Amino acid sequence: MSRINTLLKKKNISIITCYDATFSNLLEQCKCDAVLVGDSLGIIIKGEKNTRKVSMDEMIYHTQAVRRGSTSLPIISDMPLLALETKKNTLINAKALIDAGADMIKIEGGSSKLPLIKFLSDNKLSSAVFEVELYKRLVKALSLTAMILMAMLFIFGPTRDVSLGRKIFFGVALGLTFELTSRIGGAIALSFDFSPLISSILPAILVIFISITLLVKKSRS
- Same domain membership, residue 72 and residue 26: yes
Summarize the confidence of residues 189-215 as an average pLDDT.
70
Number of structural domains in the chain: 2
- Same domain membership, residue 105 and residue 7: yes
- Same domain membership, residue 106 and residue 7: yes
| pLDDT at residue 2, rounded to an integer | 65
Question: Using CA atoms, how far apart are residues 217 and 107, in angstroms rounded to an integer?
Answer: 50
CATH number (domain holding residue 116)? 3.20.20.60
Among 105, 125, 145, give the residue marking a domain's end. Answer: 125
Which alpha helices (DSSP H) does the chain contain, by range?
2-8, 21-29, 41-44, 56-69, 87-100, 114-122, 128-138, 140-156, 164-192, 196-220
What domain range is 186 assigned to?
133-220
- Same domain membership, residue 154 and residue 56: no
Q: What is the pLDDT of residues 80-100, one digit of tens each?
A: 988 888 888 888 888 899 999
Q: Model-level pTM greater than 0.75?
A: no
Among 97, 125, 153, give the residue marking a domain's end. Answer: 125
Q: What is the pLDDT of residues 148-193, one digit of tens each?
A: 776 766 666 555 666 666 666 766 777 777 777 766 666 665 555 6
Contact 130, 190 (CB under 8 A): no
Does 20 score more than 70 pLDDT?
Answer: yes
Among 125, 154, 182, give the residue marking a domain's end. Answer: 125
- Same domain membership, residue 98 and residue 11: yes
